[in-house]
Amino acid sequence: MRRISLVLALLLLASCSSRQSLFVVLPNPDGSSGAVTIEDGQKSVVLDQPYAAGEVRGGAAAPVKIDQAQVQQIFGNALAAQPILPSHFVLYFERDSDTLTPESQRQYQGVFEDIKRRNVYEVEVIGHTDTMGTQAHNQRLSMSRAEMIRDRLVHDGISPKSISVAGRGSLDLAVRTADQVAEPRNRRVEITVR
């Protein structure tokens, strides 16, 4: 999923300047940015770089120079009030079990830390399997994997009321395979934290 850059707009209705609005494109976490176009009816200004800014002053759109420190000074309170963006994690399991692989055992801590840094959170845990076994077996196994992660999170202090679990069996394969193929990347739990 591609993220759209955050654009800040500040309306100055009763100020000593004649600026009516200020628009700033903020960078995505990876440093990229989206774009926004400001139009005043006669000309347009395209803002398509991190910290690109434009204003409408006296009814006319124009680009302006602004740096990260100025953005923080002007929009600091709004930036501080932003919710934390959702996070997505994938943990993998040993074949035909609800035991995490050694690497996923280590990665679990990152899931837990992401949840704990949020004041309010919602956690969605969805279990998956490879195509080995029957549909009924895979459905039970995928649910067992999701429930194991939920139980571990609850044991570590996460509210059970904030966790939803589901099992998808082999219905949503990460890697398409034929039936009865032991594909390790399909033996997973996907966790979304909001």
Question: What pLDDT, in 10s, does the model give residues 112-146?
Answer: 999 999 989 999 999 999 999 999 999 999 999 99
Of 30, 47, 80, the residue that ends a domain is 80
Of 80, 101, 120, the residue that ends a domain is 80
CATH number at residue 174: 3.30.1330.60
Whether residue 2 lies inside any domain: the answer is: no
* 127 DSSP 8-state letter: E
Task: Please state whether 13 falls in left (phi above 0), alpha (psi between -120 and 50) or beta.
Answer: alpha
Would the CA dihedral through 158, 163, 169, 170 be positive or negative? negative
The pLDDT assigned to 58 comes to 86
Domain total for the chain?
2
The pLDDT assigned to 1 comes to 39
Same domain, 147 and 73: no
- How far CA 27 is from CA of 30, 48, 49, 176, 188, in Å, comes to 8, 10, 8, 35, 32
Whether residue 167 lies inside any domain: the answer is: yes
The DSSP bridge pattern shows strands 163-167 and 123-127 to be parallel
Same domain, 128 and 143: yes
Distance between CA atoms of residues 113 and 70, nearest Å = 31
Whether residue 18 lies inside any domain: the answer is: yes
Q: Is the pTM of this model over 0.85?
A: no
Whether residue 1 lies inside any domain: the answer is: no
- More confident position, 3 or 46: 46
Q: Which of 65, 57, 44, 46 is nearest to 11 (CA)?
A: 57
Same domain, 103 and 167: yes
- Is residue 6 scored above 80 in pLDDT? no
